Amino acid sequence: MRIFSRSARFYFLSFLKHDFKASITVFFVALPLCLGISLASGTPVYSGLIAGILGGIVVAIISKSHISVSGPAAGLTAICASAITELGSIQIFFLSVAVAGIIQILLGIFRLGGFTHFIPSTVIKGMLAAIGIILISKQIPLLLGYDKADFWSKELFNIFSLDHAFAHVKNIYQRSSAGAVTIAVLSLVLLVVWDNTVSKKKGFIPTSFVVVIFGILLSFIFKEFIPALSLNKTQYVAVPSDMFGEIKFPDYQTIFTNTAIWKNAVIISIVATLETLLSIEAVDKIDPFNRITPQNRELIAQGSGNFLSGMIGGIPITAVIVRSSANAEAGARSKLSAIFHGIWLFILVFFASSLINQIPYCVLAVILIRTGYNLAKPRMIRSVYKLGREQFIPFIITVIAVLFSDLLIGVGIGIAYAAYFIFKNTYKAGFTLHKRSEGHTKHYSFRLAINVSFINKKKLKDELEKIPDFSIVDIDGEHSVYIDYDIIEVINEFKIKAHHKHIELHLKGIPDVDTIAAH
């Protein structure tokens, strides 16, 4: 009994020293992001809070990750806004989120979590950079105090098109607020200064929380002392006091009649899975105990969270690197910090929602601009550029394609272009050819690569056709692990031509096969 008491006391003190403190830090990081991401997604703010609570409690309990924290992700904002517009109803959108969760659970059960490794990293970086650009661009009206930022659907260039933005210039001007602009500018200055100075020394104090508190204080000062700069009621976050009464549940009747539900569910599941596995990989690298998170178990956890989130009116959930890195920096040792951060969110939402309603939208826009900038950092773009043309072109094509179309098409175009480079390089690398002359006789030495596929067929055939009469040819395939049948067939066909052209042919490691020419 004494040993149990000591053990219980040890774990309790360890929890207070590490995980409890970390949970408070992550809570202050997560709260403004939950609100801001739901705003950018075109959903009610409670949808982001529901996702944050479920990501903190449900996902953390099922997951085997020790320090990652899940919640609504900035990378899905453009997809959510697009899906709601396409589906025409937020209830149908929630159904897509629930279906996406089921898809993730199935991916985990069938151990398919590794599919993300087949997507080139430059395409993934291009996707995230494009999402960052869209996220930043969508905050511009909110920075101006515009409280009806609904004149775009999904793409960046809709904001600047004649049919959207210019038709609403007068409306934006009438709804803009000098107070909101002032708060946004000062908050942005504070964010940059704090990030570059204080946060480097006091990393446990979240920058986003400091900016939110600063914005609340400024709006209060304007309201009490400078009425000309005071904000309208519509320029503040509005969390209903009775959240249960406001929650919109999915519309189940449309699941088998609306194919767009399944299309958007697939998109959400793929992108959420990508973000999760990329975040998990990064978090495992900063885990002080070098613990590795099982990918397929993580997909089951994330899928369970997304299924429940969609069922009760929440937005998609992923593992989030911003929350997770804050958790690690705050000294978290176990998943208890993630679970308790979800509990703090739950307590605040259901028992102190009036505090959340003091936050101006323009402050959340500043935080989202910072999040978008982190997704599309110029430093990251420069690093991809320095990797060379074959890495940078698929990256920039993915960015442009996502901005002009949508995420799924953009990523597909990026993958197709990356595959072209792979095809091109594989075409070149099927074999090596060395030529030399001894008197009037020409020698050609072909050495096949470790793997030779049908892609190399045309190049090999062209080189063999160029060989003049009375030459000596060596074709060495002894070091090859795999030689495609098409290659073997080309070599055996050349054997017949070599006889007629008086070419001396030596083959090593090339099996005989029947060819059409032999009949």
pTM of the model: 0.71
pLDDT for 221 equals: 95
Structure confidence at residue 12 (pLDDT): 66
Identify which of 398, 396, 374, 373 has the alpha carbon closest to the alpha carbon of residue 384: 396
Supply the pLDDT for residue 17: 73
Q: What is the pLDDT of residue 514?
A: 65
Residue 189: per-residue pLDDT:
93
Helix/strand/coil (H/E/C) assignment for every residue in 217-256: HHHHHHHHHCHHHCCCHHHECCCCCCHHHHCCCCCHHHCC
pLDDT of residue 87: 92
| Cβ-proximal residues to 508 (8 Å cutoff; 6+ apart), any chain | 474, 475, 476, 477, 478
What pLDDT is attached to residue 390?
82
Taken in order 33, 38, 41, 42, is the CA torsion positive or negative? negative
With beta carbons less than 8 A apart as the criterion, state whether 154 and 85 touch: yes
Record the tokens describing residue 291, joined without a space: 């613990």
Taking the chain (519 residues) in runs of 10, the rounded mean pLDDT of each run is: 57 73 82 85 90 96 94 86 91 95 96 78 83 80 67 42 49 73 92 83 72 92 91 83 74 85 93 86 79 93 97 94 78 90 90 84 84 85 89 91 78 85 78 91 94 90 93 93 92 92 93 61
**What is the reported pLDDT for 4?**
52
347 SS3 class: helix
